[in-house]
Amino acid sequence: MRFAYRKPVRYLFGEGVLNELPKLLTPYRKVLLVTGRKSAKESSLLNRVLNLLKPFETLLFTGVSPNPDEEQVKAIAREARKADALVALGGGSTMDAAKVAALVAAEGGEPWDYVREGLKSKREPGRALPLLAVPTTAGTGSEVNRHAVISSYRRKKKLPVSGEPLYPQACLADPEVTATLPPYQTALGAYDALVHAVESYANEPPHPPAERDALTCAELVLKHLPRAYEKPDELSARAGLLLASAYGGWAIDHKGVGVAHALEHALSGLRPEVAHAEGLSALTPAVLSHFVPLAPERYGPFARLFGLGSVEELPRAFYGLARRYGLPVSLKELGVKESELGLIARAALTDAPRAFKKAPAPVGEKELLTILKRAFRGEP
């Protein structure tokens, strides 16, 4: 067995760590603050962060959309060129768009030059402007890893950008910042983290420390999601989910995501209105139904965490979890047409070959179609 293990992002965690922002930005003069559409504006968070940024010349880009388009990333990069550093305040879409914009601003070219389509990208990420991540949701893991995912509405694709320059310089993980997140969004984030855990754990080759991170992630999600959902302002539950997000992020940084993510990216490439975790919650039970019987030992620890009698019950447990929190359980309810399933299967295979190579058992177009048909009907 061979592996390397590291966590290069300076990770500051706890209530009030947001206040460390000015200190971390001391070396810089001009800062671009990037935020999403709603969350920052609706709460007083944006004003609080702007206040913290008073010592700096601050530029502001608001309105990053879910599944951000390459044109939007280009627009952020244009602003970023006027700055020395970026602060990404938001969920996965905001952080990912800002990470790619920081790369394009420093390195030149277009955002789409850096996406990995199949095994390669047109350009390798060389360097990026420094970026601080302030997650306002818990789940994506982008705050601690070297991955970002962007979309091209024109090309109907959603693809990853990965590389060393995409590591944030630091992450300020403050549970207070996530306390205004509505229950549905909270459950979506938690589900995403849980899928990061189960997919990375099952992937080949083995990597004990990253697998430990994956299990810690799942343990934290299962423990804290019920309370975070019912009592949104309970900070200890928020803290648990925020930490789960980082553990999931570290796990996928070392072992990658799996087939549910490959299919989800193909799906929201085709339909950008589908939120990442909504796609995952509709797809994951069917993906697990395929893999669990073929490699039960790769899923046993999760069955135990769920308190199940046997590992075969795991797909149904994921399905049940989605149902309990009102998340989608079928592709049909997401507006996907049955005639699109073949397109999704083929796009996943060509766009994300790595996920299939790492999968715990072989899977081809035929098996993917069976998985997608089950997910379409909403059968675990």
Burial class from Cβ neighbours inside 10 Å (0-12, 13-18, 19+) for residue 379 reads middle
Q: How far is the CB of 27 from Fe ion (least distance, A)?
A: 32
Tokens 């675990």 sit at which residue? 380
Segment contacting Fe ion by CB under 5 A, of 96-104, 176-184, 186-194, 342-350:
186-194
For residue 354, the one-letter residue type is: R
Question: Please, which residues have CB within 8 angstroms of residue 183's CB and are 6 or more apart in sequence?
Answer: 229, 230, 232, 325
**Cβ 248 to Fe ion shortest distance, Å:** 8
Q: Of the candidates 96, 107, 143, 192, which one interacts with Fe ion according to CB under 5 A?
A: 192
Dump the DSSP string for 226-294. HHHHHSTT-HHHHHHHHHHHHHHHHHHHHH---HHHHHHHHHHHH-TTS-HHHHHHHHHHHHHHHHHHH
Q: Which is nearer to Fe ion, 200 or 289 (CB)?
A: 200
H/E segment holding residue 300: helix 300-306
Count interface residues toward Fe ion (CB under 5 A): 1
C-alpha–C-alpha distance, residues 177 and 125, integer Å: 30
Closest residue to Fe ion, based on beta-carbon distance: 192
Q: Is the peptide bond before 125 cis (omega within 30 degrees of 0)?
A: no
Nearer to Fe ion, 176 or 192 (CB): 192
**Least distance from Fe ion to the Cβ atom of residue 142, Å:** 9
Question: Taking CB under 5 A as the rule, does residue 199 contact Fe ion?
Answer: no
Of 179 and 257, the one with the shorter C-beta distance to Fe ion is 257
- Segment interacting with Fe ion (CB under 5 A) among 149-157, 172-180, 184-192, 285-293: 184-192
Between 192 and 253, whose beta carbon lies closer to Fe ion? 192
Closest separation in Å from C-beta 257 to Fe ion: 6
Distance, in Å, from the CA atom of 79 to the CA atom of 93, rounded to the nearest integer, reads 17
> Structure tokens of 182?
């509505």
**CB 259 → Fe ion: shortest distance, Å?**
13
**Contact region for Fe ion (CB under 5 A) — 36-44, 93-101, 190-198, 284-292?**
190-198
Closest contact distance (angstroms) between CB of 280 and Fe ion is 6
By beta-carbon proximity to Fe ion, the closer residue of 83 and 329 is: 329
DSSP assignment, residue 11?
A: E
Select the span of 6-14, 191-199, 313-321, 323-331 touching Fe ion (CB under 5 A): 191-199
Q: Are 174 and 18 in contact (CB under 8 A)?
A: yes
Stretch that binds Fe ion, among 16-24, 64-72, 145-153, 189-197 (CB under 5 A): 189-197
Of 232, 145, 146, nearest in space to 190 by CA? 232
Please state the closest distance from residue 261 (CB atom) to Fe ion, in A.
6
What is the binding site for Fe ion (CB under 5 A)?
192
